[in-house]
Amino acid sequence: MTAARPAVVAARRVVVKVGSSSISGANAGQIAPLVDALAGLHARGSEVILVSSGAIATGMPFLHLNSRPNDLATQQAAAAVGQNLLMVRYQDSLDRYGLTAAQVLLTAGDLEHATPRSNAQRAIDRLLGLRILPIVNENDTVATHEIRFGDNDRLAALVAELVSADLLVLLSDVDALYTKPPHEPGAQRIPEVAANDDLGYVEIGEPGAAGVGTGGAATKVASALLAARQGTPVVLTSTTNVAAALAGEAVGTWFHAAAVK
């Protein structure tokens, strides 16, 4: 069967971003099928970079927290605990395929200044050359409110630009971009977004109620447009659709890449 999106199948370097609500708490079991899809992509010969949120959400139960903390110090403590546990969960799942994960923690300043930016690019390139799976997250333990990316959707778009990715896949708990919040009457799925589309006709709702992440539809749309305007096509879909998305099926919303000189 011919893929509906041949550019997906042809992509040799792919960045996949998954959000906190998709792989923590009651949804921690989604790590295994996510890894299944990433391992399948790796087996095709593609280079894979995972941008994963979830450190704070994963650490919260171990600090006896029922909701995301508001103060920076407790966020940093939860991230320090959760990042370790999150990597263990990913590696346990990757062991089924004989794959090895590498932790890459970044702050906004790392990508804004030439030396750390070059170091990050070189390290990721070398890991990919060694067939290691880089797992990137914001370095929440040391980041401050003033220098944070704000959400890992933007981080994923910047990483895609950093490594000259052929494809960016943004995963969440919603299967696509809709003309209005999908639970509202009359909401219609948007299958494709042209490179020059500003999506001014889209009604963006509030972030989800899960309370474990910092992003929402607005950040995903902004990040998808950022990556597409930098020359990287984007698939925006749900974590449960990741295998279909990476197989080139017409799931979610496809953001066409702009022609970059």
| Run of H or E including 47 | strand 47-52
Residue 152 labelled as part of a binding site: yes
Q: What is the pLDDT along the chain (261 residues), one digit of tens a residue?
A: 567 999 999 999 999 999 998 999 899 999 999 999 999 999 999 999 999 999 999 999 999 999 988 888 898 899 999 999 999 999 999 999 999 999 999 987 888 889 999 999 999 999 999 999 999 998 877 766 544 565 789 999 999 999 999 999 999 989 999 999 888 999 999 999 998 898 888 888 655 444 444 457 888 999 999 999 999 999 999 999 999 999 999 999 999 999 875
Q: Is the pTM higher than 0.75?
A: yes
Distance CA 99, CA 92 (A): 10
Domain with residue 44: its CATH number is 3.40.1160.10
Residue 110 labelled as part of a binding site: no
In a domain, 260, yes or no: no
In a domain, 1, yes or no: no
| Run of H or E including 34 | helix 31-43
In a domain, 222, yes or no: yes
Residue 53 labelled as part of a binding site: yes
In a domain, 76, yes or no: yes
Q: How many domains does the chain have?
A: 1
| Residue range(s) defining the domain that contains residue 211 | 6-255
In a domain, 228, yes or no: yes
At 138, is the secondary structure helix, strand, or coil? strand
